[in-house]
Amino acid sequence: MKAKAITVSIDMPGGAISAEFHIDTGRLRILERGMLRVELFPPHSWFTVASVAGNSRWGTRPREADLYLVVENFIQQRFGMMAQRGEASCAQ
User: Is residue 1 domain-resident?
Assistant: no
**What DSSP string describes the chain?**
-PPPPEEEEEEETTEEEEEEEETTTTEEEEEETTEEEEEE-TTHHHHHHHHH-TTS--TTS--HHHHHHHHHHHHHHHH-TTTTTT--EEE-
Count the domains in the chain.
1
User: Is residue 74 domain-resident?
Assistant: yes
Q: pTM value?
A: 0.82
- The pLDDT score that the predictor gives to residue 83 is 66
User: Is residue 88 domain-resident?
Assistant: no
**92 falls in which pLDDT band (50, 70, 90)?**
very low
User: Is residue 45 domain-resident?
Assistant: yes
User: Is residue 90 domain-resident?
Assistant: no
User: Is residue 40 domain-resident?
Assistant: yes
User: Is residue 92 domain-resident?
Assistant: no
pLDDT digits (tens, 9 = 90+) for 60-88: 789 999 999 999 999 999 888 666 654 44
Strand order in the sheet with 35-40: 35-40, 27-32, 15-22, 6-12, 89-91
pLDDT digits (tens, 9 = 90+) for 10-50: 999 889 999 999 999 999 999 999 999 999 999 999 999 99
Residues in the chain: 92
Domain that holds residue 50: 6-83
User: Is residue 49 domain-resident?
Assistant: yes
- The pLDDT score that the predictor gives to residue 13 is 87
- The pLDDT score that the predictor gives to residue 88 is 43
